[in-house]
């Protein structure tokens, strides 16, 4: 396997893992939906095994997302598909996924309020932290 193909497999695998966790699915849950073992899902997610197009399409359907989401942040895909979003971060904690899942369940008008509240809390935290360190207030 070429270096580029290995990088692509790892990148796609990381995105599978990100969206699987975002949807609250275990490796076993996704494996059951795709007709493979949880160990096979683990190999896809690590990039050790390449996932075929048909199975990748089934994974997207199982998570109710466009298949292009698995290619986000992959330079080659950006050129071909026009995908421009940043790749998901690997540092998402369980709390982060819980917040994202709660946000996705809200209707649009409540999402705006949720976001406003989260931004206000983060700004207050920044100001409080700056005061504690003696650096003054931060800009919004």
25-51 pLDDT, tens per residue? Answer: 999 999 999 999 999 999 999 999 999
Q: What is the pLDDT of residue 63?
A: 94
3-state secondary structure of 25: coil
Q: What is the pLDDT of residue 104?
A: 81
pTM: 0.60
Q: What is the pLDDT of residue 3?
A: 55
Q: Domain boundaries in the chain?
A: 3-81, 106-133
Q: What is the pLDDT of residue 80?
A: 52
3-81 topology per CATH: 434 Repressor (Amino-terminal Domain) (1.10.260)
Q: What is the pLDDT of residue 25?
A: 93
Q: Do the beta carbons of residue 77 and residue 19 sit within 8 Å?
A: no
Q: Which residues of the chain have pLDDT under 50?
A: 83-87, 137-140
Q: What is the dihedral of CA 101, 24, 91, 7, to 10 degrees?
A: -120
Q: What is the pLDDT of residue 29?
A: 97
């Amino acid at each position: 396997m070429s270096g580029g193909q290995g990088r692509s497999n790892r990148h796609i695998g990381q995105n599978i893992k990100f969206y699987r966790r975002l949807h609250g699915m275990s490796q076993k849950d996704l494996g059951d939906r795709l007709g493979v073992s949880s160990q096979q899902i683990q190999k896809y997610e690590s990039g050790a095994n390449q996932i075929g197009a048909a199975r990748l399409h089934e994974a997207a359907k199982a998570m109710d997302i466009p298949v292009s989401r698995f290619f986000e942040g992959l330079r080659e895909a950006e050129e071909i598909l026009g995908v421009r979003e940043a790749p998901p971060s690997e540092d998402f904690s369980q709390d982060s996924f819980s917040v994202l899942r709660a946000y996705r369940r809200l209707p649009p008008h409540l999402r705006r309020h949720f976001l406003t509240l989260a931004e206000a809390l983060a700004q207050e935290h920044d100001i409080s932290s700056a005061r504690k360190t003696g650096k003054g207030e931060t800009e919004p």
